[in-house]
Chains A and B, each alone.
Chain A
Amino acid sequence: MSAAKRPMVARERGDFDRRNADWYIDRLVQGLVFLGGISAILFIIGIFVFIAKEGLGFVIDTLDLTEFFTSKYWEPSDEEAPEYGILALIAGTASVTGLAMVVAIPFSLGAAVYIGEFATGKTRESLKVLVELLAAIPSVVWGFIGLSIMNPLIIELFDVPVGLNVLNAGIILGLMAAPIMTSIAEDALKAVPDRYREAAEAMGATRWQVIYKVVLPAAKNGLLGAVLLGVGRGFGETMAVLMATGHSVNIPTSIFDSVRALTATIAAELGETAVGSDHYSALFTIGIFLFIITFVINLLADLVVRGVRKG
């Protein structure tokens, strides 16, 4: 900033026009921050263009979209007639995510209500830290737990041949999604102004009545947003699901069936395909599909959460 330190003696300028170092620093920082802000948009467009480039040509020229979405046979390595049907993969992802939500919603909403409405002082602070810590556990560690702890446990408890199935992955994914859902749900509860609680309590409402009749209805958009983000997390999760589902293409009829997820398919197969081959492009098509779904879910969650701020 040595240039800026030079006294500004521009003859035509009055005192009010003088620019000092602070002015340049301000400009510089503004520029940097703007770059940082805009980069998120650039990256997302870049990623979309990349995925579309790899998959879209295939979608338009070669792929039979009806077959893609309705066939339950994913047999890309069949030499004579490879088949690219993702119905079973969608069923796999959906069943695992669905079960995960059944596990995560009561846990996360319960935790959020406890942290937000009941816990005070140190209990509250340490719980919040712990929840955040839980969210930071790498997904491969969860997958490891699924493989080495849940798997034998399920085999023993339910007397089934394989413990890597919808139940296993659903529980693992539910526990993984719960922390983030908890913190978003807790934010939603915290956004409910305290004067509502005070008003209800002053009328003689019990704590539970205050929560049930006032706080939860007032926070319902935020809570729905939390659930939607959990669903988005479920659709996008790869490693833990890959490890815990059993990874076999299958439309599940019970929670003890092994399945395969969309994400896990990409992760497991992309490395072994020739760049530009049909199989490669089919995997990218799955990528586009996942991208669109998670994008829509996140957008929806965002809109829903925003709705509550306005209302």
Chain B
Amino acid sequence: MSKHQELNCAIQTEGLNLWYGTFQALFDVNLNIRNGRITSLIGPSGCGKSTFLRSVNRINERLGYVRINGSIKVHEQNIYAPSVELLQVRKQVGMVFQRPNPLPLPIRDNVLFGHRIHNRAESSSRAEEDEIVEQALRQVLLWDKVKDKLKRKATELSLEEQQKLCIARLLPVKPRVLLMDEPCSALDPKGTEAVEELIWELSGQYTILIVTHNMAQARRASEECIFMLMGKVVEHGATDELFLAPREQQTADYIEGRFG
């Protein structure tokens, strides 16, 4: 990665407002999310953290009644510009969902799904595909567990393995940003630990934005932290500072468990 990019932020928003129908979910969000870091988004339910996350790869638009103004730039490009090709945005910005959602296909096809749809022109040989699958699964620490059952349906895996697979399938298309919407909330404590470990492994290579309402997790598993409340960003800073010495009273109240 060039020095120029390193200095810049991966995601920048300016005056971002978002409405679901007539309900405004985000108010004037201005954020600079640093490249190659893990940034966590915390806040009480309904504060807009998931909404914000989902607008970064425009998956929000599936709902059809979402309106947005302001801008979100991913590596300097406004992803809401009219000329932008939605599919390219989603290739650059991968998403991991709250409930593991592997496709009802074999494990191998799950890992290759994104690769295949984004490389339709030049189809890869079987050997190349094998290579891609192994590399992606190794990166998410899943290879040794599933290497003998790549043809089995992904939905047969345990939830923890499914969630790791959901991360693995994003990697072959080389995204720059990974969005994670409470990636551990469906997992047991062991699974949570394993996935958090994996997130640490991936940091540096990818910019990771992770929504959580587990504050301990935000503290453990992120370098920067954003606290949101009622659709507004209240505070954004290094995780350690935000938890030890919050600048805003609302942040202090929330992390001390006085509401939320």
Complex: how many Å from CA A175 to CA B64?
34
Q: Hey, which chain A residues are within 8 Å of B169, CB to CB?
A: 203
Q: Hey, which chain A residues are within 8 Å of B97, CB to CB?
A: 195, 198-199, 202
For residue A273, CB closer than 8 A to chain B, the reply is no
B57 adjacent to A202 (CB under 8 Å): yes
Task: Name the distance in Å between A182's Cβ and chain B's nearest Cβ.
Answer: 23
Count of inter-chain pairs, beta carbons less than 8 A: 62
Partner of B62 from the list A196, A198, A218 (CB cut-off 8 Å) is A198
For residue B151, CB closer than 8 A to chain A, the reply is no
Task: Name the distance in Å between A199's Cβ and chain B's nearest Cβ.
Answer: 4
Complex: how many Å from CA A199 to CA B163?
12
Partner of A202 from the list B90, B99, B105 (CB cut-off 8 Å) is B90
Residue in B closest to A196 when the chains form the complex, CB atoms: B103
8 Å CB contacts to B: which residues of A182-220?
195-196, 198-206, 209, 213-214, 217-218
For residue B260, CB closer than 8 A to chain A, the reply is no
For residue A120, CB closer than 8 A to chain B, the reply is yes
In the complex with contacts A201-B59, A203-B117, A205-B117, A196-B90 CB distance below 8 A: no
For residue B101, CB closer than 8 A to chain A, the reply is yes
Task: Name the distance in Å between A257's Cβ and chain B's nearest Cβ.
Answer: 45
For residue B91, CB closer than 8 A to chain A, the reply is yes
Interface residues as binary, B162-195 with A (CB distance below 8 Å gives 1, 0 otherwise): 0000100110010000000000000000000000
Q: Hey, which chain A residues are within 8 Å of B91, CB to CB?
A: 203-204
Task: Name the distance in Å between A146's Cβ and chain B's nearest Cβ.
Answer: 42
A203 adjacent to B104 (CB under 8 Å): no
A214 adjacent to B90 (CB under 8 Å): no
B90 adjacent to A204 (CB under 8 Å): yes
Complex: how many Å from CA A218 to CA B105?
8
In the complex with contacts A201-B62, A202-B94, A204-B88, A195-B118 CB distance below 8 A: no
Complex: how many Å from CA A204 to CA B118?
8
For residue B157, CB closer than 8 A to chain A, the reply is no
Partner of A199 from the list B57, B87, B88, B102 (CB cut-off 8 Å) is B102
For residue B95, CB closer than 8 A to chain A, the reply is yes
A120 adjacent to B103 (CB under 8 Å): no
For residue B20, CB closer than 8 A to chain A, the reply is no
For residue B113, CB closer than 8 A to chain A, the reply is yes
Q: Hey, which chain B residues are within 8 Å of A196, CB to CB?
A: 101, 103-104
Partner of B117 from the list A195, A198, A209, A218 (CB cut-off 8 Å) is A209
Interface residues as binary, B71-107 with A (CB distance below 8 Å gives 1, 0 otherwise): 0000000000000001111110011010101111100
A residues with a Cβ closer than 8 A to B are 120, 195-196, 198-206, 209, 213-214, 217-218, 311
B residues with a Cβ closer than 8 A to A are 57, 59, 62, 64, 86-91, 94-95, 97, 99, 101-105, 113-114, 117-118, 166, 169-170, 173
Extra contacts, 6 of them, besides A196-B104, A311-B104 (Cβ < 8 A), are: A202-B94, A202-B97, A203-B91, A203-B94, A206-B117, A217-B104
